[in-house]
């Protein structure tokens, strides 16, 4: 065993130990709005349910360790004391991860990640339509835990309305734990899929990914590519050049034939194979080839 006094190590290292040891952690996918009504969407794994009567969920947007700044979510709920906490399942995990990119204030992460904004009934922030369960909440209290980088801020969120996708219910009307297919956060790049086990999601770029909204419409509306595939495609800083695309396609007769015949179905299936192997730039070169 090694024994550590928290004050004796850098906060970043302490943060890593805490996240590596305490998990899987449920994910609060939180939508808020600012004073101008602009939506924000961001995930938080310092989160859980703490009361049923009244129904209280608490999530904690921590101050950034590197520069002690606060996140847009915290700034929003301090001014507009409402939020929607959306549950994350496996089908949306890559798109969810993309929203943790630190886009500038006012950028709509719903659009960047390719999620659908659905109007709430009792609060102003929109819901994530793709989420299997959505909790409309009134923020009743914000409890700062410190003033330095890494300090959490407990956001007490009272549930005022719940929306549940009927597809995740069993014959008794309760939530089927296999159908909801939740994911949870672990240390580093690791997540846990409740009914399958661990998997890895590379962290979003420190620079800004192009976002799902920058993907050409016929690719975005593909019948083959999933939301997770689109999330990976959106997490690139820039698209390959025409020269790179030409060299890639020209070196493979099978791919050249697909492009020549404009066989979109086959092109998208092949691109998905590349995405599944995390060869995302190769997938982009193939998907953009018939644009040349």
Report H helices in the chain. Answer: 11-21, 72-79, 93-98, 109-113, 177-180, 217-220, 227-234, 242-250, 253-260, 264-276, 280-288
DSSP lists the bridge partners of residue 138 as 82, 158
Least Cα distance to 45 among 65, 61, 68, 64 occurs for 61
CB 35: neighbour CB atoms within 10 A? 9
pLDDT for 142 equals 98
Residue 276, pLDDT score: 94
The confidence score (pLDDT) of residue 206 equals 59
Backbone angles phi, psi at 193, to 5 degrees: -95, 120
Give me the pLDDT at residue 259, please.
84
Residues of the chain with pLDDT under 70: 205-207, 292
- Please give the model's pTM, rounded to 2 decimal places: 0.91
Tokens of 238: 């820039």
């Amino acid at each position: 065993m090694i024994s550590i006094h928290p004050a004796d190590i850098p906060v970043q290292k302490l943060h890593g130990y805490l996240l590596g040891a305490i998990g899987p952690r449920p994910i609060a996918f939180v939508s808020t709005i600012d004073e101008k009504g602009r939506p924000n969407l961001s995930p938080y794994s310092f989160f859980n349910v703490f009361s049923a009567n009244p129904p209280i969920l608490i999530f904690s947007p921590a101050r950034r360790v590197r520069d002690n700044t606060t996140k847009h979510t915290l700034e929003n709920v301090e001014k507009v004391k409402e939020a929607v906490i959306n549950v994350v399942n496996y089908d949306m995990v890559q798109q969810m991860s993309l929203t943790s990119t630190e886009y500038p204030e006012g950028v709509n992460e719903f659009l960047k990640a390719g999620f659908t904004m659905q109007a709430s009934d009792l609060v102003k922030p929109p819901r994530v339509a793709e989420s299997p369960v959505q909790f409309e909440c009134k923020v009743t209290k914000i409890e700062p835990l410190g003033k330095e980088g890494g300090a959490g801020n407990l956001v007490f969120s009272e549930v005022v309305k719940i929306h549940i996708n009927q597809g995740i219910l069993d014959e008794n009307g309760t939530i089927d734990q296999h159908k909801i297919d939740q994911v949870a956060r672990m240390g580093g790049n690791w997540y846990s899929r409740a009914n399958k086990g661990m998997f890895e999601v590379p962290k979003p770029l420190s620079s800004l990914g192009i976002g799902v909204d920058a993907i050409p419409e016929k690719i975005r509306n593909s019948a083959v590519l999933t939301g997770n595939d689109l999330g990976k495609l959106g997490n690139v800083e820039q698209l390959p050049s025409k020269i790179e695309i030409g060299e890639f396609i020209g070196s493979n007769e099978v791919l050249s034939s697909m492009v020549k015949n404009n066989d979109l179905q086959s092109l998208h299936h092949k691109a998905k194979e590349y995405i599944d192997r995390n060869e995302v730039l190769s997938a982009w070169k193939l998907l953009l080839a018939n644009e040349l």
